[in-house]
Amino acid sequence: DLHKAIRRQRQMCIRDRPLPFRIFVRKHSLKKFQEMATIQTLYLGDLRTEITHVQSGNRVITDAPTDNNGKGEYISPTDMVAAALGSCMLTLMGIAALRLEIDLKGTRVEIQKVMAAEPRRIAEIRLDFYLPGDYSDKDKKILQGAAETCPVGKSLHPDIRQAVTWHYGSAK
């Protein structure tokens, strides 16, 4: 039977894999794994992609930057990495602010991404946080600590410097 032969071959391949992989394969069928996709990315041509958040249907178009053969008419993928870091940090600060019952409305982060060559990569992400409210030292420490737990920041390679500056009581 063809199905038995395929199953036997798959089991032989799986047997050679580390245990966590074997457990994952047993728990999740390929169909179930495909259903777990949260983002779909389509190459549009001309160094552009369209990213779709599957759950909401929201779409973002990316473009290669002008210094890398692109037109720079849309956000670049590396800019999205920097933006994801800032957005993640603000979100976690927002969660902490809910617990503290303080208002972060109007808080913003200005981000500068610094690229390196050989190989071309992000070398540094500079984040300037502007919090317009008046916060106690304890609240500042909690908010900054929350920002530091950002999973995006924790997922970035340690060679990428994350330089964060805090500005309190300023709207700049």
The model's pLDDT over 42-83, given as tens digits with 9 standing for 90+, comes to 999 999 999 999 999 999 999 999 999 999 999 999 999 999
3-class state of residue 94 by DSSP: helix
3-class state of residue 87 by DSSP: helix
CA distance 139 to 103: 11
The model's pLDDT over 144-153, given as tens digits with 9 standing for 90+, comes to 999 999 999 9
Q: What is the pTM of this model?
A: 0.77
Check whether 2 has a pLDDT greater than 80. no
CA distance 116 to 134: 37
Check whether 23 has a pLDDT greater than 80. no
Q: Which residue has the tokens 């909401």?
A: 56
Greatest Cα pair distance, the chain, in angstroms, is: 72
Check whether 31 has a pLDDT greater than 60. no
> Pairing state of beta strands 161-168 and 48-53?
unpaired
Strand boundaries in the chain, DSSP class E: 39-45, 48-53, 59-63, 108-116, 121-131, 161-168
Check whether 24 has a pLDDT greater than 50. no
Check whether 170 has a pLDDT greater than 80. no
